[in-house]
Structure 1
Amino acid sequence: MIKGALFDLDGVIADTSVYHFQAWRDLVAKHFNATLPDDLEAKTKGVSRGDSLRVILDYLGETVDQVTFEALADEKNTAYIKLLDDLRPANILPGITDFIANLKAQNIKLALASASLNGPYILEKLALSDAFDAVANPAEVTSGKPAPDIFIAAAQALNLEPQDCIGVEDAIAGVTAINASGAFSVAVGDASDLSHAKLHFPSTAELNLATIQKAFEVAR
């Protein structure tokens, strides 16, 4: 039986990834007088702020010292939080509210396993803080996604083994991290990018707990 559900945030609970990339674009335009192509967003999705900045600097062919690196990351985060100011429960992605309610009805514990340091703030804006039993702190794990650390930490925060949990993701790096942790990976989004997931749904609106439970039991 499934005992825990480990959730990514951006693109799974709410589509905040668009705000991330808008903040990066504004930063790059200001400091490097450059633009970022749409297809670069996928490489910054689901990974830490620092890793995202490394991807962007690599694309730009730029190098900066550590002090500048940290200043750029902090400036981006400030801009991102400002963009989130109007975030409301109405911004929760389709199907997620019902899916969470179904998990809670089955006494399945919930933990957030997001690379975002702003996870607690976003849950609060979405009025979902009380729905989650734990929030893994990405600042306390050794390696970010695609390493499994954040999902292992999320399971541990629930006093569970990853093997007793499902992980829900929309990013390539995130699904890889779930698989490496030993949890059962459930992906939402573009199937061509997420074919390594154990189970796939085209969108959050189609998440179905009964289907997941059946696939989880077969896999175990």
Structure 2
Amino acid sequence: MSVIKAFLFDLDGVIVDTAIYHYRAWKRLANELGFDISEAFNERLKGVSRMESLDLILEHGGLTLPEETRTELAAKKNDWYLELVSRMTPDDILPGVPQFFSQVRKAGLLAALGSVSKNAPLIIERIGMQDAFDAIIDGNKITRGKPDPEVFLKGADELEVSPAECVVFEDAVAGVEAGKRGGMFVVGIGSPDVLTQADMVAPSLQELTVEQVLQKAQ
């Protein structure tokens, strides 16, 4: 086994929970188009890129729209979403995250963000965690969304470590698959019934210590 040198974190559902803001913005868009989406349907959009999410929603509403209209709708949803996340503060950081990141630093590990969201830098700034990461990979730096491993492989690359020296923290099925496809040890944040591909699962970072993760991963 390789010695673990770096932890790579998804943003949404691991560090903050912006899923409710995504849901409100997508729901508003669906309502404007004449139909509705449920919270259960919204689960399918987690870890999926903006345009792919829009396509799933349009399919759900039985709509086929030209490329230009789809681009406009995606931009409109993003504007509504940004209105909501721009009000975020450090209070929106999920319980246990600051303590876990403190352990990461004490253990001498590198940390990277691996998010498909193009808004990740804005959120990290709003919650005051810019200094917590040695590298930030977001939707602006990648061409393929999860479950493609590109976002995590780029993270490893920027940190100058091999995939085998990395641990990924993910709450979405697509993200867990991306980490595994990238050849990394994956910690699922959520339910073991859902994140079946993960190497280990915890309800949140609050229920984990860096030592527990390293014992399992190396």
| TM-score using structure 2 length | 0.96
Relative to 1, partners in 2 of residues 1:22 and 1:65: Cα closer, same or farther, differing over 3 Å? Answer: same
Q: State how far apart, in whole Å, the 2-side matches of 1:44 and 1:29 are.
A: 17
Matched, 1:29 2:59: no
Instruction: Verify the 8 A CA contact 2:4 2:217 in the aligned structure 1.
Output: yes
Matched, 1:162 2:159: no
Q: State how far apart, in whole Å, the 1-side matches of 2:47 and 2:20 are.
A: 12
* Residues 1-220 of structure 1 aligned to structure 2 (within 5 Å): 1-30=3-32, 32-217=33-218
Q: 1:140 is paired with a residue of what secondary structure?
A: coil
Q: State how far apart, in whole Å, the 1-side matches of 2:194 and 2:99 are.
A: 26
Root-mean-square deviation (Å): 1.0
1:173 positional shift: 0.5
1:148 positional shift: 0.7
Q: 1:111 is paired with a residue of what secondary structure?
A: strand
Q: Deviations over 1:33-69 (max 9, x none)?
A: 1110221111100111111111111111211111111
Q: State how far apart, in whole Å, the 2-side matches of 1:17 and 1:110 are.
A: 23
Q: 1:138 is paired with a residue of what secondary structure?
A: coil
Q: Deviations over 1:6-55 (max 9, x none)?
A: 1100110001111111100011111x111102211111001111111111
Q: 1:14 is paired with a residue of what secondary structure?
A: coil
Q: State how far apart, in whole Å, the 2-side matches of 1:28 and 1:50 are.
A: 14
1:196 positional shift: 1.0
1:106 positional shift: 1.3
1:137 positional shift: 3.2
Q: State how far apart, in whole Å, the 2-side matches of 1:25 and 1:129 are.
A: 30
Q: 1:195 is paired with a residue of what secondary structure?
A: coil
Q: Deviations over 1:140-186 (max 9, x none)?
A: 32321011111111111111111111000001100000000011100
Q: State how far apart, in whole Å, the 1-side matches of 2:22 and 2:147 are.
A: 19
AA matched with 1:76:
K
Q: State how far apart, in whole Å, the 1-side matches of 2:141 and 2:130 are.
A: 20
Q: State how far apart, in whole Å, the 1-side matches of 2:135 and 2:141 are.
A: 14
Higher helix share: 1
1:190 positional shift: 1.7
Q: 2:169 is paired with a residue of what secondary structure?
A: strand
Q: State how far apart, in whole Å, the 1-side matches of 2:25 and 2:205 are.
A: 25
Q: 1:74 is paired with a residue of what secondary structure?
A: helix
AA matched with 2:54:
L
AA matched with 2:131:
D
Unmatched 5+ residue regions in structure 1? Answer: none
| TM-score using structure 1 length | 0.95
